[in-house]
């Protein structure tokens, strides 16, 4: 079986206005939209890439126009229309959130960061080293501590000649951070932080498959490379989630065989270890991961036997990872979940796309995934 190509988008973007209008779900008037439930999700053109939450009634989903930025307030999904692409989102409180991405899908592109103050989204200046760079993910723990990661040179769909990028928000400005650069092309694709002295950035090294996992840790003073201990030295990491110094998950896939296989790594406070994960027949590509405790974590992505691709959701119960059926919309050939947030054992959200052109939002109620 031939190896499947990782999904790419060919889509441009323009910087949006700083003060943004609000649209309610599916164009409904506010009085009608207030009756909405998690089963009524914003199915719009584009795709969602990431989701973050501070509580059951404060959830953000971001992606590509017209997905852009959406907010769940406990009653309905509300849209903040933009022409900007976003790949990552992180929320500290109802009045403090970040959304990041590229200014364009092509070279040259600029790093883009928007901040939510409880009333409006506004763009915050960010360095773009090398003249072309983009953000792929963001993680914030307070008003004075946020990390954004991505790549210098190329665009989000470019896997060659890339240099990984880390920038830090100190409450006033975004500044580029130094760390030990890999010898080959590399990109950061995920970041997670639990405090000012504990953050993780993950991605991959190598311009062509098979590639090796890239993991860096922030200890409060410096970024340090940590061995991933992947099978045969191969692994492509796309998401990371930390709940504390000794409980961190990183997910992606192993691309050393004829097809991609799911890859899940766990940090126990001393080293990274591969944890057995489900592998349905064919390709299994994990893209997003989130954890609320040591006994509750979700990993999402897509899998297939050839094509169509089907949305995949795996759950960690403290002992093992198991497949939990996700909802795959009918009449579509490609369904993928690209981001997930675990709020509690009875509350989680997963986002993605169907046919890579229309958004998917699924909600976990403690028993099943529902759209």
Q: Is 253 helix (H, G, I), strand (E, B) or coil?
A: strand
Q: In whole angstroms, give the CA distance from residue 71 to residue 62.
A: 9
User: Which residue carries 């993991």 as its tokens?
Assistant: 215
Residue 358's pLDDT is what? Answer: 87
Least confident of 23-27, 131-135, 182-186, 277-281: 23-27
Position 62 confidence tier, pLDDT thresholds 50, 70, 90: very high
Phi-psi region of 229 (alpha: psi -120 to 50; beta: other; left: phi over 0): left
Confidence band, pLDDT 50/70/90 cuts, at residue 307 = low
**pLDDT number for residue 211:** 81
Q: Is 229 exposed, middle or buried (0-12, 13-18, 19+ CB in 10 A)?
A: middle
- Rounded to an integer, what distance in angstroms lies between the CA atom of residue 316 and that of residue 318? 6
pLDDT digits (tens, 9 = 90+) for 72-127: 999 999 999 888 999 999 999 999 999 999 998 888 999 999 999 999 999 999 99
Query: Which pLDDT tens digit goes with each residue over 8-52?
Result: 222 222 222 222 223 222 222 222 233 333 334 556 788 999 999
φ, ψ for residue 30 (rounded to 5)? -55, -40
Higher pLDDT, 329 or 149: 149
Q: How far apart are CA 62 and CA 41, in angstroms?
A: 13
The string of DSSP codes covering 329-344 is -TT-SBEEEEEEEEEE
The answer to whether the CB of 346 falls within 8 A of the CB of 363 is no
| Mean local confidence (pLDDT), 166-180 | 97
How many other C-beta atoms can be found within 10 angstroms of the C-beta atom of residue 138? 30
Query: What's the chain's average pLDDT?
Result: 85
* pLDDT score recorded for residue 39: 37
DSSP secondary structure letter of residue 357: T
User: Domains in the chain and their CATH numbers?
Assistant: 23-370 (2.120.10.70)
In this prediction, residue 135 carries a pLDDT of: 97
Q: How far apart are CA 131 and CA 159, in angstroms?
A: 17
pTM score of the predicted model: 0.87
- Which residues share a beta bridge with 11? none
Q: In angstroms, what CA-CA distances link 207 with 81, 186, 188, 259?
A: 35, 7, 13, 18
Query: Hey, is 33 helix, strand or coil?
Result: helix
Per cent of the chain over pLDDT 90 is 65
Closest CA to 324 of 311, 335, 336: 311
Question: Nearest 5°: CA angle at 157, between 329 and 309?
Answer: 25
Task: Please write the tens of the pLDDT for every residue from 65-84.
Answer: 777 899 999 999 999 988 89
**With contact defined as beta carbons under 8 Å apart, do 289 and 338 qualify?**
no
Closest among 337, 335, 334, 340 to 316, alpha carbons compared: 340
């Amino acid at each position: 079986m031939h190896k499947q190509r990782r999904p790419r988008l060919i889509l441009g973007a323009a910087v949006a206005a700083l003060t943004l209008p609000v649209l309610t779900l599916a164009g409904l008037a506010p009085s009608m939209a207030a009756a909405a439930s998690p089963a009524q999700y914003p199915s719009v053109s584009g795709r969602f890439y990431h989701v973050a939450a501070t509580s059951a009634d404060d959830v953000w989903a971001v992606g590509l126009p017209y997905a852009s930025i959406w907010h769940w307030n406990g009653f309905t999904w509300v849209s903040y229309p933009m022409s900007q692409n976003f790949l990552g989102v992180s929320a500290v409180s109802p009045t403090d959130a970040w959304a990041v991405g590229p200014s364009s899908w092509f070279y040259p592109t600029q790093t883009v960061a928007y901040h939510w103050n409880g009333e409006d989204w506004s763009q915050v200046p960010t360095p773009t080293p090398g003249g072309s760079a983009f953000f792929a993910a963001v993680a914030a723990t307070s008003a004075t501590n946020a990390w954004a990661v991505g790549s210098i040179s190329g665009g989000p769909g470019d896997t060659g000649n890339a240099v990984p990028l880390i920038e830090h928000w100190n409450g006033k400005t975004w500044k580029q951070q130094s760390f030990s650069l890999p010898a080959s092309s590399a990109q950061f694709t995920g970041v997670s932080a639990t405090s000012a002295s504990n953050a993780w950035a993950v991605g991959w090294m190598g311009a062509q498959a098979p590639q090796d996992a890239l993991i860096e840790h922030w200890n409060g003073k410096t970024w340090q490379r940590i061995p991933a201990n992947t099978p045969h030295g191969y692994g492509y990491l796309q998401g990371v989630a930390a709940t504390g110094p000794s409980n961190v998950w990183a997910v992606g896939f192993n691309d050393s065989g004829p097809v991609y296989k799911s890859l899940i790594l766990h940090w126990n406070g001393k080293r990274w270890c591969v944890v057995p994960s489900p592998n349905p027949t064919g390709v299994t590509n994990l893209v997003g991961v989130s954890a609320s405790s040591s006994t509750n974590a979700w990993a999402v992505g897509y899998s297939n036997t050839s094509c169509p691709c089907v949305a995949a959701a795996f759950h960690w119960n403290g002992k093992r990872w198991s497949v939990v059926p996700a909802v795959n919309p009918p009449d579509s050939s490609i369904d993928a979940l690209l981001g997930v947030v675990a709020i509690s054992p009875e509350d989680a959200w997963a986002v993605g796309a169907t046919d890579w052109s229309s958004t998917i939002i699924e909600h976990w109620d403690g028993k099943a995934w529902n759209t």
